[in-house]
Amino acid sequence: MAGDDIKAALFLCALQNAVKHGGVPQAGAVIGMVMGAHPELRSRAKEVSGAAKDAIADVAALSPEERVSKLQSLSPEMFAALHEKHEHKKVLPDLEGAEHGVVMRFAPNPSGPLHIGHARAAALNDAYVKQYGGRYILRIEDTDPKRVDPEAYDMVKEDIKWLGLGITETVTQSERFPLYYDLCKQLIERGGAYVCTCDNEQFKALKDAKKACPCRDQSVETALSLWEKMLDGGFKEGEASVRVKTDLLHPDPAMRDFPIFRILDSPRHPLMEARVYPLMNFSVVADDHLLGVTHVIRGKDHIANTRRQRYIYDHFGWKVPVYRHYGRMGIEGVVLSTSQMHAGIDEGKYTGWDDIHLGTLRALARRGISPEAVKNAMIAIGIGDVDISFSWDNLYAGNKKIIDPVANRYFFVPDPVEAKVEGAPHKTAHAMLHPSDNARGSRTLPFNGTCLLPKSELVPGTEMVRLKDLFNVKIAWNGDTPAFSYGGDSLADARAAKARIIQWLPAQETVSCTLLTQDGDMNGACEPAVKSQNGKVVQFERIGFVKIDSVDENGVKAYFTHK
């Protein structure tokens, strides 16, 4: 987009904002509107921010009457939108200091693919970048080789692409070790850190007693020499670490002179050669500062880390980002532990990272959950600090709003029973592909005397059922054996008999189908037209929404999404 086009877009958004709210538009809101409509501009945030000031000044110079008139003439659509009634949407609370845009980061560890728990931070950060404009950094935090799965690097990026995050740049921490080493040297030179060679038990005893270890008073020169010795391989694993100087009298022992670098000989890092590794609290501070992160949104479990990290910010004299800590989100019904998932896959308990019993994003995708539904659910939960339980029902309700208008309807008959209907006319049913979209057309289901019915509907004592889009069927019972006969076309008769309306299939034209659910597999048959829906979400009438996973010579395999 050319510079003049950017200015025009900013002026229109500022104009609409001023007409809607009165007064002078806020730069963050205007920039957020433009960035949301034109995500390709995120990499030009500085240019957009500068142009926004001019656009807002131009709007501020107009009278209220001139603003209305100008908006009507320049964009009748935007003016009309101000007067439309919209469904109320939950809005995230404002962020302190975000008026001029934000720099946010999503920082997963590559120990496996992303799961539903990761989606909260990912979606909230994404929403705020869209709201205020700015940069959104994906930071792969792989400084602990014990928690690195080499395959996860690509899986994380694939999951983020599926989720549709507006990432503007990606950094990998294992590529930044020279930066961390240099900053550690600077911290030692500032007198903010030292190299500790104490035995772990000895240090713990002193720390718990609120006493300094002997290494704390070493000179800067000595500390630098020991630091170089660490880097040169002069210490074995566990013999030395770098500790940051904090408050030895702090009531929380975990805050007292915590480590920021350690030596690890195994496992080896898959991407680089290293023995001295930064610990999370140091690498996070270093990158948040170097990358210009302005706001950090993360869980309450990081509150202690936030307090630790402030010591490092203070030693360097760096500006501290704005932190928001949200409450814990309990998630039941799926496996989220990466180690448990790894073990289950290795043992053959799970078919892979997208097994529907797992809580990974790729498992949700395989089941037919929309990425928009996931993001909407997380934004609705928000950033409150109260602990909550994640509601699958809310996710499913949101997903249904997205997939229901586009999902074709078909019949699937689980555990089918062949029924010969005595006295029934041969006729063809015309069933709508979508009940609310006549233009989509219908599918034809020819009845030639016999059909397949779901066994679960043939309960002894049932006297009538209605075959959807066809006719009524009377059932006579000889013990547990049913006999079927034509019951007429009248829907009123079926209602009077309180007959259930059930799905069915022509006995001669079906395709074998297996529906996989979290509670077990359902084997049956479906309409041949389902084969044309491979990779799509459809609705199996009276069963629920399903994702067609594969089609081959053996038939159709589908995954249950939700009702």
Tokens of 221: 């020169």
Tokens of 139: 């930071």
pLDDT at 9 exceeding the cut of 90: no
CB 277 within 8 A of CB 262: yes
Give percent of the chain above pLDDT 90.
83
What are 25-70's pLDDT values in tens digits? 778 778 877 777 776 777 787 888 888 888 888 888 887 777 887 8
Q: What's the burial of 408, exposed, middle or buried (CB within 10 Å: 0-12/13-18/19+)?
A: buried
What are 395-438's pLDDT values in tens digits? 999 999 999 999 999 999 999 999 999 999 999 999 999 998 99
Query: What is the model's pLDDT at position 30?
Result: 82
**Higher-confidence residue: 41 or 135?**
135
CB 196 within 8 A of CB 240: yes
Please give the Cα distance from 463 to 486 (Å, whole number). Answer: 12
pLDDT at 8 exceeding the cut of 70: yes
Threshold 0.85, pTM exceeds:
no
* 460-472 average pLDDT score: 96
CB 334 within 8 A of CB 359: yes
Residue type, 305: N
Query: What is the model's pLDDT at position 450?
Result: 97
Query: What is the model's pLDDT at position 44?
Result: 83
Please give the Cα distance from 101 to 133 (Å, whole number). Answer: 5
Query: What is the model's pLDDT at position 451?
Result: 97
Cα four-point dihedral sign 105, 109, 112, 118: negative
Q: Within 238-329, where are the H helices?
A: 280-290, 303-316
Residue 4's pLDDT band, with cuts at 50, 70 and 90, is confident
Query: What is the model's pLDDT at position 62?
Result: 82
Burial string for 101-111 (b: 16+ CB within 10 Å, else e) reads: bbbbbbbbbbb
* 11-36 average pLDDT score: 79
Please give the Cα distance from 452 to 473 (Å, whole number). Answer: 13
Query: What is the model's pLDDT at position 82?
Result: 67
pLDDT, mean over the chain: 93
pLDDT at 490 exceeding the cut of 50: yes
Residue 86's pLDDT band, with cuts at 50, 70 and 90, is very low
Looking up tokens 């590794």, which residue turns up? 277
Please give the Cα distance from 520 to 560 (Å, whole number). Answer: 10
Tokens of 287: 């990158």
Query: What is the model's pLDDT at position 508?
Result: 87
Query: What is the model's pLDDT at position 83?
Result: 56
Give the DSSP H or E segment for 205: helix 200-208
- Please confirm whether the linkage preceding 267 is cis (ω < 30° from 0): yes
* 456-482 average pLDDT score: 96
What residues pair up with 520 in beta bridges, in sequence order?
517
Residue 186's pLDDT band, with cuts at 50, 70 and 90, is very high
What are 111-132's pLDDT values in tens digits? 999 999 999 999 999 999 999 9
Residue 1's pLDDT band, with cuts at 50, 70 and 90, is confident
CB 105 within 8 A of CB 7: no
Please give the Cα distance from 137 to 87 (Å, whole number). Answer: 32
Q: What does 216-261 look like in DSSP terms, one character per residue?
A: GG--HHHHHHHHHHHHTT-S-TTS-EEEE---TT-SSGGGSS-EEE
Contacts 24+ apart (CB under 8 A), 229-233: 230/195, 230/261, 230/263, 230/276, 231/181, 231/276, 233/275
Looking up tokens 């630098």, which residue turns up? 224
Residue type, 284: V
* 170-185 average pLDDT score: 98
Query: What is the model's pLDDT at position 85?
Result: 41
Cα–Cα distance list, 170 to 103, 106, 141, 159, 278 (Å): 13, 10, 11, 14, 20
Please give the Cα distance from 5 to 21 (Å, whole number). Answer: 24
